[in-house]
């Protein structure tokens, strides 16, 4: 609980939640989201959408925060079961406390804020994130958070539970198909280590077969539902995603920086301190696979491989390495403190508990500050107005950056930049819709082509348009103003 509180969560609905909650919210009957175009495209994470739908139907929305705290518990269990056998933390209560204190500090929202202010945004998740801005945890509950089961998988294998380890890796991939490649890398590493130890193919083949059987449903779903429509459409869609939508995740030239070097150094240091253990061999295999696949993508420039994110295995390697280094430091510090007497030990205990408590409080304060900022957001008033007045059959044209509109209001939108489909033809449709939005939302009212509203109404069923601050003085004969504040205005399209 303290780890989750210190890490802090963002309020609903923030960032990727606006995409990954959409299908579940629509199926749960939230507002009129069933009529939203994106909600009717192929769902990229159907298992997570079932979780979201069930939560909406059975529990209040605040339950999403509780669900995420449970995943923090999985993360902590995985980290503990990975580190404890190597550094014998249970031999000393002080070792346990110092290890937990280090984890809380390195995962705390307070440290993230400090690093971001001093070093820049790229450094905020240097201790618990992976390369390319990808991570297991993060401030929002989303499918990628189930990657904590990959860390648990690693720990289970090292604890002599290879079957459960393969099952945990497969579970992660089923919830978020983007983890199919990292899960495959882990399972192949398990098979390799098992073969080297047993000199028999039977056990490794059974491990691989178990994982394959468990991921078969999601693999079939990806191939049949999200699979390519045609080679040319697939190539166009991949290029759009790589170059326009997610270059910060998909292009090494865009995401590799000094913070990446630091994260790689952390992995290297963890290998040094574990060089005589089984985890060393396993991490070497996993890291080598990630490096080779990354080099292959850089050499070929393959957009398909870029969208498989071969560097995503770093989301397991970096936090695992940080946990191992924290365990090593905790053992060293405890062994240095304990022989020096009761006063120093008492000071270490009090200081550690005080740090944990203060960071947990800071995490709660960070959440409250974000929620207050969300309420004071310039778009908050127009969102509240739409939520109160929206009716079935309406479709809203919104500025591309107004990503929170759908879930905040329950109203369908034409398109936004943040939330994207994954099937090739839908990606092409998303890009065309975004192009029309860019044509309409200009910097000056005089630059706006009002006839676009007629096309959007007739071709796409748009009924309302939200005007941002640049267009508050826009006057189009097709648009009747319903609402206006200092930042946004809302109009209804005539004869729609």
DSSP symbols for 407-451: HHH---BS--SS----SHHHHHHHHHHHHHHHHHS-SSGGG--TH
- The continuous run of DSSP H or E covering 287 comes out as helix 278-300
Grade residue 47 by pLDDT with cuts at 50, 70 and 90: very high
**Six-digit token string for 279:** 């985890």
- Average pLDDT of the chain is 95
- The continuous run of DSSP H or E covering 483 comes out as strand 479-484
Calpha distance 381→387 (Å, rounded): 10
CA distances, 165 to each of 29, 77, 348 (Å): 37, 14, 36
Q: What is the per-residue pLDDT for 311?
A: 97
Convert 183-207 into a string of H (helix), E (strand) and C (coil).
Answer: HHHHHHHHHHHHHHHHCCCHHHHHH
Q: What is the per-residue pLDDT for 289?
A: 96
Q: What is the per-residue pLDDT for 215?
A: 97
Q: Is the pLDDT of residue 418 over 90?
A: yes
Calpha distance 64→85 (Å, rounded): 33
Calpha distance 235→104 (Å, rounded): 44
Q: What is the per-residue pLDDT for 341?
A: 84
Calpha distance 133→119 (Å, rounded): 15
Q: Is the pLDDT of residue 496 over 80?
A: no
Percent of the chain at pLDDT exceeding 90: 94
Mean pLDDT over 140-154 rounds to 97
Q: Which strands, in side-by-side order, build the sheet including 464-467?
A: 396-397, 464-467, 489-493, 479-484
Mean pLDDT over 209-221 rounds to 96
In contact, 466 and 488? CB cutoff 8 Å: yes
The residue among 157, 165, 166 whose CA lies nearest residue 197 is 157
In contact, 453 and 478? CB cutoff 8 Å: yes
Q: What is the per-residue pLDDT for 202?
A: 86
Comparing 23-32, 193-202, 256-265, 291-300, the range with the smallest average pLDDT is: 193-202
CA distances, 340 to each of 46, 102, 334, 354, 478 (Å): 56, 21, 10, 21, 80
pLDDT tens profile 84-143: 999 999 999 999 999 999 999 999 999 999 999 999 999 999 999 999 999 999 999 999
Grade residue 200 by pLDDT with cuts at 50, 70 and 90: confident
Sign of the C-alpha dihedral, residues 200, 205, 206, 211?
Answer: positive
Q: What is the per-residue pLDDT for 201?
A: 86
Grade residue 276 by pLDDT with cuts at 50, 70 and 90: confident
User: Where do we find the tokens 């209040």?
Assistant: 60
Mean pLDDT over 195-199 rounds to 85
C-beta atoms surrounding 487 within 10 Å:
15
In contact, 336 and 95? CB cutoff 8 Å: no
pLDDT tens profile 234-254: 999 999 999 999 999 999 999
Q: What residue segments make up the domains of the chain, in order of their start?
A: 62-338, 380-493
The residue among 255, 135, 118 whose CA lies nearest residue 126 is 135
The answer to pTM > 0.85 is yes
109 or 446, higher pLDDT? 109
CA distances, 121 to each of 117, 126, 158, 300, 316 (Å): 8, 10, 34, 29, 21
């Amino acid at each position: 609980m303290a780890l989750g509180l210190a890490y802090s969560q963002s309020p609903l609905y923030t960032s990727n939640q606006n995409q990954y909650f959409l299908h579940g919210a629509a199926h749960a009957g939230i507002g009129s989201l069933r009529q939203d175009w994106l909600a009717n495209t192929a769902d990229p994470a159907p298992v997570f959408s079932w979780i979201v739908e069930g939560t909406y139907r059975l529990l209040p929305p605040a339950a999403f925060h509780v669900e995420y705290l449970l995943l923090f518990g999985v993360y902590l269990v995985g980290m503990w079961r990975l580190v404890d056998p190597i550094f014998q933390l249970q031999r000393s209560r002080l070792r346990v406390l110092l290890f937990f204190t280090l984890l809380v500090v390195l995962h705390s929202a307070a440290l993230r804020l400090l690093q971001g202010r001093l070093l820049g945004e790229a450094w905020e998740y240097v201790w618990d994130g992976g390369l390319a801005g990808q991570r297991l945890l993060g401030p929002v509950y989303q499918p990628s958070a189930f990657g904590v089961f990959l860390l648990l998988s690693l720990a289970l294998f090292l604890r002599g539970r290879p079957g459960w380890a393969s099952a945990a890796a497969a579970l992660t991939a089923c919830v978020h198909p983007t983890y199919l490649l990292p899960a495959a890398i882990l399972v192949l590493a398990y098979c390799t280590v098992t073969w080297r130890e047993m000199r028999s193919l039977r056990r490794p083949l059974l491990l691989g077969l178990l994982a394959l059987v468990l991921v078969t449903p999601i693999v079939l779903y990806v191939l049949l539902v999200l699979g390519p429509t045609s080679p040319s459409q697939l190539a166009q869609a991949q290029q759009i995603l790589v170059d326009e939508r997610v270059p910060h995740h998909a292009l090494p030239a865009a995401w590799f920086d000094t913070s990446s070097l630091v994260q790689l150094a952390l992995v290297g240091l963890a290998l040094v301190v574990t060089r005589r253990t089984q985890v060393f061999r396993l991490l070497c295999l996993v890291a080598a696979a990630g490096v080779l696949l990354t080099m292959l993508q850089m050499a070929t420039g393959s957009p398909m491989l870029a969208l498989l994110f071969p560097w995503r295995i770093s989301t397991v390697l970096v936090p695992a390495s940080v946990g191992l280094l924290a365990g090593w430091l905790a053992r060293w510090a405890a062994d240095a403190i304990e022989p020096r007497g009761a006063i120093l030990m008492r000071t270490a205990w009090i200081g550690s508990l005080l740090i944990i408590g203060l960071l947990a409080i800071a995490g709660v304060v960070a959440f409250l500050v974000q929620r207050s900022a969300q309420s004071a957001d310039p778009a908050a008033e127009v969102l509240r107005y739409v939520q109160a007045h929206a009716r079935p059959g309406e479709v809203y044209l919104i500025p591309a950056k107004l990503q929170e509109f759908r879930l905040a209001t329950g109203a369908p939108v034409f398109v936004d930049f943040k939330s994207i489909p994954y099937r090739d033809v839908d990606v092409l449709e998303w890009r065309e819709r975004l192009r029309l939005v860019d044509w309409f939302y200009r910097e000056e009212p005089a630059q706006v082509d009002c006839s676009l509203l007629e096309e959007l109404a007739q071709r796409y069923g748009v009924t309302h348009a939200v005007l941002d601050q640049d267009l508050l003085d826009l006057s189009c004969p097709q648009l009747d103003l319903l609402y206006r504040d200092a930042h946004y205005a809302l109009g209804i399209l005539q004869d729609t």
